[in-house]
Structure 1
Amino acid sequence: MVNINQILNTASYSDNPLSLLTEFLKKQEHLQDTRLKEGLRFVGYVLDLGYDKAKIITSDPYKLAVGGIPRGSFLILSVNQNDNLNLPPHFTLLRVSSVSATPLTNQVQQTYFELHKKSMPELDIWTQGELQWGALECDVLGMFYPQQDNNIELAFSGDVNNVVSAHNYKVYSPDEKLLELIVNGIVNKKDQHVIGSLRPTECQLGIDQKKYPDVKISLSDFKGRRTAMFGKTRLGKSNVVKVLAESIIKTTAQDKSVGQLIFDINGEYANDNPQDGNKSIASAYPETTEVYALSPRESTPSKELKLNFAEQPHTTIQILKTFLDRDGEDAHYVKDFKNTSLPSIDEIRSAAVNEQNRMIRKIQMFWAILKRANFELDESKLLELGLNTRIVKGFNPGFSQDLRRAIYKDNEPATIKSLDDLVKELRLVWEFKNDKNNSNSKLLETSSGKPLFDAVDEALLGFLHPISGSGPKILANYRIYHSPRAGDFVQEIIKLLNDGKTVILDLGNANETIRHYFSDLLSTAIFKEQERKFVSNQLGEHFIQLYFEEAHNLFPPTSNDNTTVYHRFAKEGAKFHIGMVYSTQSPSTISKELLVQTENFFVGHLSSSDEANALSKLQSTFKGLEEDIKKCRTPGYMRILTTSHRFIIPVQVKKFEL
């Protein structure tokens, strides 16, 4: 009757992936009964078992038969098949952590000591049989079993539900099919891609890597989530980014559900280079990729990564003020300038007619400042903006004829045709206003008796022609951000991202300050756009994925300001469908708040104990792997942890190449 129950139990789980385990154990029992070695995966017995650790005993022939048992390799722990148990197929997953002492360790060492002391040429078969046994310490990672409410689905728990006496267990090295189940069985089935192949150990001596399965990831685990890339330079972090970005491009080619923005500080994602088989993300996928470059390269089609300061005055004056703050410019006239704000072109067009004159005049003053700072300006394009009223037209600020006669001493020009003319007229008006001997102050009032210039006007004119100081010339260093041919690249990029495109910012020739500027500017704009879509219920299934390198410069661990856009990405990114992939050499240099919120990890070689310990302290899943992480330096050899993977998988990440 018991055998019938076992048959029925096995049949009820025949469609579950764990049916592989049932077949595997039957085959192993047969091989052990018939004493056949080919295909034998049995490695030993349990000496001691707890909820977190297991000590197993094994023998040299067993280890040799399975090709070795390196530290970090997976073993499966299975309950002996007997008539007293009628459980669904299941197994406990172990990871080898170290060699352990056995109860006979001292006697074995004594035997070796006597052996070498006497220089015995060989061992007798009985002594050899005794010495080949040893013990391994293993971490208990969890248990694979069928889902309770769905017999055909696989489940995994990070703990075990019961521990019985050690003699009830056998330990096996999983075959290729079970390894496939272990590394891929619980991965989200949606949008799966191969990231590389399983590689339990850096040493490949005597190992056929082809026998190890491919490791899959689900791109759904990365959308709207935080992903960390840790490891020393030149060991594969950038390659992982390329593989991830490529996978998202391929997966979303039809539905355009993910827009990607890559801050390319070395130019390696935008430009072809030998280490990528002479192909970059941009050249490999030209139909779905757009490059913006601060310094365009002849071999890479790109758009200018610059602002037209004159056409976007309300935005660019804020940028100029940020630069002046950074550079410590604190003259009185500079402080007044930094307290100003300008209307946008759209605000002017929608304002009441009686308000437009003052608003346009402020824009003209800003243009005059740029002109004096030697910014290259396309005057014909500025005239096309259509900032005209009955009084103010083009570059003409619309001052009264009486005022113009007074400032030009009856030699007023008939019209103002250029920015040079505008600069001159504003200078004369400002000098007239500041002339203490001037008795004609009524000319500086409007027809309603109000002052012609308000506080913003005076701050702009005071900056344009200061009593002392360099004036607009202090803006000369910021001309590199400006081009009269640049459109509003921020809005262009947001539109491309909303259309599911991949945008690469080539910052390869930029210094740290410039990188910060573009990173902050675009990150803030994207956050506001996603927040706007969230409150208006327009997010849908669309996501934005951001890629940052040298991330420690953006969110340092000692920062007391937790209100930056990067901290908001960490806290609220998932809610607003913003995913973030950040790379750095040192986990200890990253904000602890961000690390705690990070779901996915790719970890290569870390050179110091402090760095390895910092990682395992904040992400306990890496505990016990610190020594391996410090020792292994093969490029592309990573330990990965994703939202789907509940334990660390050692992977040789595939190379990005076409």
Structure 2
Amino acid sequence: MAWAKTGMRGLIMTILNEELSDFQEEGAEEAGGKLAHYVSEDTKVGDLLSLDYTEAIILVHDSLRQEVGGLPMGCFLFATRVEPISKPNADKEDTSLILLRVLGQAPLPNRIETENWRFDAARRSIDSPQQWDADNKTDQFTLNQLRHAGVRCSVLGTFRYAQNDGRWDLNFGADISNFYSGQGMKVYKPIGETLKAIINFTKPMGESHPLAGKPVPVGRVRYSSSEVSVDREAENVQVNIEPTDMLARRTALFGMSRSGKSNTIKTLASAIFDLRKIDSEKGRIGQLIFDVNGEYANDNPQDEGCLRNINVEDVVTYGLFKHPNDEGRRLIKLNFFGENVQDWSDKEGLQRSLDMLFAGKEIIDEHLRGITNAPQYISRFINTNLEPPDARWGRGQQIRYRRNLTVYRAILTAANFNAPSNLQSADIGGLFSNDLRQAMTSVEDERFGRAATTLGQRTVSWNEFYQTLLVLQEFVISGRQGTGMAEFQTFNENYRNRPNGSGEPWNDDMLNGLLYLLSWGGGVGRIRELQERHEPSVESDYSTEIVSELVNGKLVIVDQSIGSPTEIEHTSDRIMWALFNHQRRVFTDPPCNENGELLRDENGN
């Protein structure tokens, strides 16, 4: 009895497995039939001659080429062993379509022979008004042989149906997994619905974006500029792009001049921007456009609209200069002076207030490094770090640091950098001690006495302070070099040995690096070359602002149509490094709800 039950269960399992296998095979054949739907005898162009992992050579005939409307360079073809109106098993290896793109002509094995025939035919008809392929010029057998040609194609990938969670879906892989030298394949030209399926196929990467499924039309298929029949239904296929496919992927757009690249970019940027209308949170995708020709940031009479105007609140424009028709444009410049520090004891707040000053110093250093055979004073200035020291931050350190920054700002004014409205004069009260001023006054040269008087004031003009610094650097530098100014040496020795002092000299490395630049007039002149990158009214670093705008899901357009190549390159690098550093921080410590960012760099030159 037990044996009978066991045998019955085994029989039932066998029947169920057979039914499941039949069901799976039916599903595979149904999927194979869908793939065969793309294959049509009317679109056949030839046979596959050879195939490897990157290229294919196909044999075509003029009559087949003519029936499908020609084979322009760059057009799609596909090779397959799937027959029209069939139901092959989709699980089989050869139930696939190998997508090809025409690259050019390929020589056939009988090339020399056919070239001789063609030469003889042309020679016979050269003095006749008839073409050499006329019936009375060349026999039909020869003509038929001459009408075969080889076409070289690149292998783009493989279409096949595969099971995903029990559902058969059309998949595309950007390669081929195998090929056989002893198997033939027919080659077809996709047109109509088949071409539409290939052109508009989308392959999700990982989880699909929740807003996927909203494709936008960007144009139609156009293989060549000299196309003959643009209205043929077979090839007049609309091209759609899924906006979410642009996210987190590298996308390049190529085309000839006047072929619509800029309008396509506008269409894509607008479509991505409009995702926020579907979902105000997940649809806020930050976009950054480097506008080389100013065609996205500025109104163009040739266009129906301007990308800048699609939304006033969520579109931000930047540029090296103000624009009369764009009042809200922000400047891609820095305030090299930094902000007016209110509390020098707050080290963190001090760092934030001087971020632009530090960034400006980096720009100056980079510029000065380009000087061939730079003198030593340039190297000293470059190596001068204006960041606040990591050591204890007592009152003495604050005075020393404040004095050095004031000297640096005086150098900027001497280089014709306009000071911000809240830094119109040099605040030097308490920065230069009475002992120093007395040491300067004791020098016989009256210039030092006048300089000491100026250094004792609370505020002075930047120009007066700069002229005073020229005297101070002479007093300090020559004293350090031992060529005179024994008064400074005496003062400095007393300063180092003062009770409860740090033992450090009055003139630290930071001050020395700044004063050395003053000892040579050419240094200030080289800094003056950068004054166009300075804007005193700017309140924050543009690179930090742009990253913040992108994180908040805004469309940022950087107008680069005006400005020197050096300025454009430098500002672009600053923006990209700021974005890269932000992304690196997000990668190592991701926030919970930060929206994605899209970077699009479009160059029409």
Paired residues, number: 517
Q: 1:530 aligns with which of 583, 590, 605?
A: 583
Distance in 2, matches of 1:527 and 1:199, equals 37
Residue 436 (structure 2) pairs with residue 403 (structure 1): yes
* Residues 143-152 or 366-375, more deviating: 143-152
Paired amino acid for 1:510: G
Query: For structure 2, which runs of at least 5 residues remain unmatched after alignment?
Result: 1-19, 339-355, 442-448
* Residues 225-234 or 483-492, more deviating: 225-234
Distance in 2, matches of 1:231 and 1:173, equals 23
Distance in 1, matches of 2:51 and 2:363, equals 61
SS in 2 for 1:79: coil
Preserved contact between residue 343 and residue 359 of structure 1 (Cα < 8 Å): no
- In structure 1, the residue matched to 2:221 is 198
Paired amino acid for 1:360: R
- In structure 2, the residue matched to 1:484 is 536
SS in 2 for 1:41: helix
Q: CA deviation at 1:219?
A: 4.9
Residue 510 (structure 2) pairs with residue 453 (structure 1): no
Q: CA deviation at 1:198?
A: 1.9
Paired amino acid for 1:205: V
- In structure 2, the residue matched to 1:351 is 393
Q: CA deviation at 1:233?
A: 5.9
Distance in 1, matches of 2:569 and 2:269, equals 22
Residue 333 (structure 2) pairs with residue 268 (structure 1): no
Distance in 2, matches of 1:364 and 1:341, equals 14
1:168-220 Cα offsets, whole Å, 9 max, x none, are 86554434111122222343375454443222333321342654323344555
- In structure 1, the residue matched to 2:286 is 259
Distance 1:544 1:353, change over 3 A: farther
Q: CA deviation at 1:365?
A: 1.0
- In structure 2, the residue matched to 1:508 is 561
Distance in 2, matches of 1:163 and 1:431, equals 85
Distance in 1, matches of 2:115 and 2:536, equals 82
Residue 278 (structure 2) pairs with residue 287 (structure 1): no
Residue 177 (structure 2) pairs with residue 177 (structure 1): no
Preserved contact between residue 61 and residue 148 of structure 2 (Cα < 8 Å): yes
Q: 2:336 aligns with which of 300, 305, 309?
A: 309
Equivalences for 1:457-468 in 2 at 5 Å? 457-464=511-518, 466=519, 468=520
Q: 1:300 aligns with which of 326, 333, 343?
A: 326
Distance 1:439 1:143, change over 3 A: closer
Paired amino acid for 1:293: G
Preserved contact between residue 82 and residue 88 of structure 2 (Cα < 8 Å): no
TM-score by length of 2: 0.70
Distance in 1, matches of 2:335 and 2:276, equals 33
- In structure 2, the residue matched to 1:415 is 457
Distance in 1, matches of 2:395 and 2:61, equals 90
Q: CA deviation at 1:540?
A: 6.9
Paired amino acid for 2:274: K
- In structure 2, the residue matched to 1:641 is none
Distance in 2, matches of 1:438 and 1:536, equals 57
- In structure 2, the residue matched to 1:153 is 169
Distance in 2, matches of 1:204 and 1:248, equals 32
Aligned CA RMSD, in angstroms, stands at 4.5
- In structure 2, the residue matched to 1:646 is none
- In structure 2, the residue matched to 1:249 is 273
Between structure 1 and structure 2, the one with the greater Rg is: 2
Q: Name which structure has the greater RCO, CA cutoff 8 Å, separation 6+.
A: 1
Distance in 2, matches of 1:481 and 1:53, equals 54
TM-score by length of 1: 0.65
Q: 1:375 aligns with which of 417, 436, 445?
A: 417
Identity of aligned residues (%): 25
Q: CA deviation at 1:308?
A: 0.7
Q: CA deviation at 1:363?
A: 1.0
Q: 1:135 aligns with which of 143, 148, 152?
A: 148
Preserved contact between residue 71 and residue 98 of structure 1 (Cα < 8 Å): no
SS in 2 for 1:376: coil
Paired amino acid for 1:399: F
1:291-319 Cα offsets, whole Å, 9 max, x none, are 22212221223112211111133222222
1:88-109 Cα offsets, whole Å, 9 max, x none, are 6644445555487698968985
Preserved contact between residue 272 and residue 278 of structure 1 (Cα < 8 Å): no
Distance 1:142 1:368, change over 3 A: closer
* Residues 517-526 or 403-412, more deviating: 403-412
Distance in 1, matches of 2:436 and 2:197, equals 86
Paired amino acid for 1:515: I
